[in-house]
Structure 1
Amino acid sequence: MKTVFVTGTAGFIGFHLAKHLLDEGFKVVGFDGLTDYYDVTLKKKRHEMLERNPNFTAHIGMLENNELLSRLVAETNPDVIVHLAAQAGVRYSLENPRAYVETNVTGTFNLMEAARETGVDHLLMASTSSVYGGNTQMPFEETQKTELPLTLYAATKKANEAMAHSYAHLWHIPTTMFRFFTVYGPYGRPDLALFKFVRAALAGEAIDVYNHGEMARDFTYVDDLVHAIRLLIDAAPARPDAGAAAIPGDSLSPVAPFRTINIGNGKSVPLMTFIAEIENALGQGIKKNMMEMQKGDVPGTWANTDLLEALTGYRPNTSVKEGISRFVEWYREYYQV
């Protein structure tokens, strides 16, 4: 039985990944800070569900606590580490930028040090589509330059990629960085658009629609995302001196066992289409406040997922219609609406 150390298991994506791995028979060691960035009750509920499986153990702590983190990694001696914990939220990074540096940079450094000290077969870490920043050529490909971050959140994730590459080179740690594209689904974060829109609509309130609705996103259903991560666990990049060969369109480093991977649905869906699907799923219209574009936001995202498919044989494909329907069903049941 392989052991996977997952950070952020009380979070949205970490919870779903841990559940997926447990269902497959992995032993999962969870690590989460249970911060109050959003409803802690929801985070605790996620952990409670995971703890029903005897192969899951939860540890509460902050990434910034280097002594605790390094001790836990050493004691559990995982085969694989999947690092999903972070201070998330593009817009919140405008209000509290220091939290992003402390958690996303210092905290990630602490985890990489723990991985180096203990030794793992594969280190996988979350980045974001936000690293594409000011790029306008779409769909975004992993080989594009990412030198134009528009928020500190994006800058910290770009820093994580650079830090991870250096560790992969220096210490020969096989490392994969995921670039996530607008993840949504049941047990999602309350600060994400779908959650906010459904909550407001059911309360009879208006939703804020930025850039007057002239936006598009590559909406990725969470089950598709975690399935892709599971497959990538088995696709560790090889060292160049071990004969690693890049495939067409590969982001494999020529000097390190390191790769970046887009995980998206491979489609760019207009925001107003997304909202219309929410209205259909709810069976009601939604009042809308048309707003100007927010600082640091981008008009569109769209992932090229050819590399993911080449490495795993898998390409996410859940439609927004199906994904939103599943979320609304979960929301009504969970909140008894």
Structure 2
Amino acid sequence: MRPVLRALGLWLAVVAVFAAKTWLSLRVIDRPAPLADILVGELLTFAPWLPLAPLALLAARRFPLVGEGRGRHLVVLLGVGVGLALAHVVLGVVLAALVRGEWWPLPELLEQVRQTIPRAVGPHLVVYAALVAVAHALAFRRDAEARARRAAALEGALARAERDRLRMQLHPHFLFNTLHAVSALMTRDVAGARRMIAGLSELLRISLDDDDDDVPLARELEILDLYLRIQQTRFADRLTVTIDVEPAARAARVPKLLLQPLVENAIRHGVEPRAGGGALELEARRRGDRLHLELRDDGAGLSSRAREGVGLGNTRARLEKSYPGDHRFSLAPRDGGGVVVGIDLPFRAE
């Protein structure tokens, strides 16, 4: 219903424009006429296009002037245009007779049509050409919108594929590091090594089960907890972990496996080299429409991490893919020793 009302409104606007033009033209040549009579005349002129315009638009869509066969389509459209112009003349003559309350015998009606054709067919062909142009413009717009939708879908698919590639890159890296730790533990604590393998199996199962690019922070913390259990088995009381997460922050969606490589990096470079171990502190806060994450360790600092490895490089790339230009990722020395990793993201809930 709405497209019909829009088409009717456009038609009335065209009638109003032509009526105004005729009224002004008559005043310029000092032959003024009542505006109501002019409106009636323009309505009679354009009224036949109400049933004929859809036929013109249909012909333009069926025989487009682009692509293969456009020469043949042009001939067809010209033929349709002449036919519609003649039909407009006939309808206009009949409609004018009905409005005046007259009805001519068929010979007189045909004669009236014959006299009207020379002065009316040309303008009607111009209107027809305008309708064909409008139909092509609408078709071009639809095609452009469809191409834009396809391009956006393809871009989204490529971005998801790249995020998946980056995420899957973490699995062999994490698996290698953990198995290396298991092998080192096997010689002195077989039971602990077995617990690490069991925890590793559960962690891999959970991390590979979900297909989502991002998960609620609460879910990410569950995955991180499995990883920390593995590390607690390895380090025992040499590793202290403190996690402080605001309840309001738990619903925020974050890239899956965002925290694990950062914690792994902190343990490997901050806790492991120290004979006495070390401590990790993780905080998550919601600040308006932003989520702020901060991971701190009390290790040796940035000097031992001058070369960015797979974990940090992967994290940077994933954040850029997920939040292009709308995130912050920083590493800085911590007062008193250690490193602070800060992440600022848009707060996106479920």
TM-score range, shorter chain: under 0.3
* Higher RCO (Cα < 8 Å, 6 or more apart): 1
More helix as a share of residues = 2
TM-score, length basis structure 1: 0.23
Give the greater-gyration-radius structure (CA).
Answer: 2
